[in-house]
Chain A
Amino acid sequence: MSLRHRLDTVTEPIIERIIQLCGISAIVFVFGIFFFVFREGSDLLFRGFDLVEFLTSPQWYPDSVGHKRYGALALIAGTTSVTLLAMAIAVPFGLGAAIFISEFCSPKLRETFKIVIELLAAIPSVVWGFIGLTLMNELIITLFDAPIGLTVLNGGVILALMSVPVIVSIGEDSLKAVPDSYREAAEALGATRWQIIYRVLLPAAKNGLLAAVLLGIARGIGETMAVLMATGHAVKIPHSVLDSVRTLTATIAAELGEAPVHSDHYQVLFLIGVLLFTISFFINLAADLIIKGIGRK
């Protein structure tokens, strides 16, 4: 056996091990974070914390002297409303832009677009929050004659603007990954451009497009700073898009610094973290099931 071959028998298993470790570490970190967040909050659960109240009561008074109440429903409603509005705006716009850039642009224009969109994605969230706090605020007050512009609408639009680059970028990649031979075949069958897009490209790229939308949603749910600044930070269940709300993430960011370590308040904030974790887990799970459901056919 040559030296080269003998070396291979030693190095190959080592490299395999290293790659294995990389893979396992991803899982370890995810579970580690979940474990830590859960541990910080779990103590409360064992001391008889009312989980039903936590999930169904809109009363969030962690600082009340006489009667502290930890009902997160208004916060859940805040996150849900802002995210839903953001997605209602960002998904059609993002997918439309992805289709436009991938299918209708000349190569030169496409490169320009991609650079601009990546630039958009690089704007720090606090800057978006700043835009929400000043520009959007005034715009909403003037346009809707509202008393205050820091609302679901404001946060939704800001979040949409933040999610669009993610959706466009990943959506465009997945459309570009559809082999050109599909386009040629459909063209040769006399399909128009639009027919090619919705009959061939969208079905072929559906997994990637779904991933794009999900990452957009994930960004919406997880975003903190921009919505903290743009939504008015008022604990209430919104009745219209012109109401102020407060989101789960913003609550953690705003209150964790104030809450004494290991107090009830502190632990409830970690439970909110667990809640956020659970929400994203179920969204991902749902997406997985949808993809498998489509793929089985």
Chain B
Amino acid sequence: MLKKKIEISNLRVGYGNEQALKGISLDVYENEILAIIGPAQSGKTTLLKVINRTVEFIPGVQVEGSVKIDGQDVLDVKNVYELRRKIGMVFPLPIGLPLSIYDNVAFAPRAAGVYDSTKLDELVERCLKQAALWEEVKDRLSSLGTRLSGGQQQRLTIARALSHQPEILCLDEFSIAVDPVTTMRIEDVLRELRSQVTIILVTNLVQQARRLADRTAFLFNGELIEIDSNDVIFSNSPTNRVTYDYVMGNFG
């Protein structure tokens, strides 16, 4: 049996009167790519925000249930900064911090207290290589990260997310602002990373989930409709009829 990296049980998240997640239970195994699909407003992003505890910056949010990483409930974690360093996060729109390319990647290590310049140099190079960006930017590491093209910036944020050697990498619809060629390159990168990290891929591209993931979870209106291996979800007979309709593009 595979080792469970994240165990989510009966997770409820509400913003005021609205329920974003209505009691979700699912496990994420170590070194798998788990895709989370579902139409807009189904709670996918909220789920990621609970995992790295950035959900609490939303005013009036209520979180119930438990989310355990390696058996430790993240909702009880005191040092959230350390928790967040365990998790790499990539947002839908590439957010290059207004710093140089180098400083963007070195941001998290520095925040964690790494200042040794040879170590940082190595780390920056390794992360940029992992994100398939090194060749394009190695001669201009000191220019502003925000000047890169959209696709390059998204790979920069992936390099940045890898810079603190996370155990879990969460990607939130990373391909929204990226051209198809870059998307395929990033997908290749993710396949390679799989041996080192656990990847949660939130996407509204059903085909992307089919191509990349080992298992896929289908969220709809804050409820988990189905989670299973790709063979089942993308077959002609997933357990739930709604899943079939969504995957086939009948709605959503």
Contact = CB atoms under 8 A, between A and B. Distances in A.
Nearest to B99: A203
Contact of B93 (A181, A189, A200, A297): A181
Given A185-B91, A187-B57, A190-B108, 11 more contacts: A107-B59, A188-B52, A188-B89, A189-B85, A189-B164, A190-B81, A191-B107, A195-B111, A203-B98, A297-B142, A297-B143
B84 A200 contact: no
A106 to B, nearest CB: 9
Interface in B75-130: 81-85, 87, 89, 91, 93, 95, 97-100, 107-108, 110-112
A191 B95 contact: no
Interface of B is mostly: mixed
A181 B95 contact: yes
Interface of A is mostly: helix
B144 interface: yes
Interface string B131-163: 000000000001110000000000001001101
A186 interface: yes
B89 A191 contact: no
Given A190-B108, A195-B111, A182 B89 contact: no
A186 B82 CA distance: 13
Interface of A: 107, 181-182, 184-192, 195, 199-200, 203-204, 297
B82 A190 contact: yes
Interface residues of B, number: 31
A190 B110 CA distance: 10
Contacts of B157: 185
Contacts of B59: 107
21 contacts: A182-B97, A184-B95, A186-B107, A187-B54, A188-B52, A188-B84, A188-B89, A188-B161, A189-B85, A190-B84, A190-B112, A191-B81, A191-B107, A191-B111, A192-B81, A199-B99, A199-B111, A200-B97, A203-B99, A297-B142, A297-B144
A184 B110 CA distance: 17
A186 B160 CA distance: 10
Contacts of A195: 111
A184 B58 CA distance: 11
B131 to A, nearest CB: 15
Nearest to B53: A187
B54 A186 contact: no
Interface centre among A185, A187, A188, A192 (most CB of B within 10 A): A188
A18 to B, nearest CB: 36
A203 B104 CA distance: 13
Contact of A186 (B52, B97, B164): B97
B91 A184 contact: yes
A176 to B, nearest CB: 15
A199 B103 CA distance: 10
B54 A190 contact: no
A25 to B, nearest CB: 35
Contacts of A189: 84-85, 89, 107-108, 111, 160-161, 163-164
Contacts of A107: 59
Contact of A190 (B85, B97, B99, B144): B85
Given A190-B164, A191-B111, A182 B98 contact: yes
B60 to A, nearest CB: 11
A180 to B, nearest CB: 9
Contact of B97 (A185, A192, A297): A185
Contacts of A190: 81-85, 108, 111-112, 164
A57 B20 CA distance: 74
A297 B98 CA distance: 11
A204 B146 CA distance: 11
Nearest to A194: B111
Interface centre among B93, B100, B110, B143 (most CB of A within 10 A): B110
Contacts of B107: 186, 189, 191, 199
Contacts of A181: 91, 93, 95
B77 to A, nearest CB: 12
A187 B157 CA distance: 13
Contacts of B163: 189
Contact of A182 (B95, B110, B142): B95
A186 B163 CA distance: 13
Given A182-B98, A200-B98, A192 B111 contact: yes
A268 B29 CA distance: 83
A195 B81 CA distance: 11
A184 B57 CA distance: 9
Contacts of B100: 297
B114 to A, nearest CB: 12
A215 B163 CA distance: 40
A282 B64 CA distance: 59
B113 to A, nearest CB: 10
A297 B146 CA distance: 12
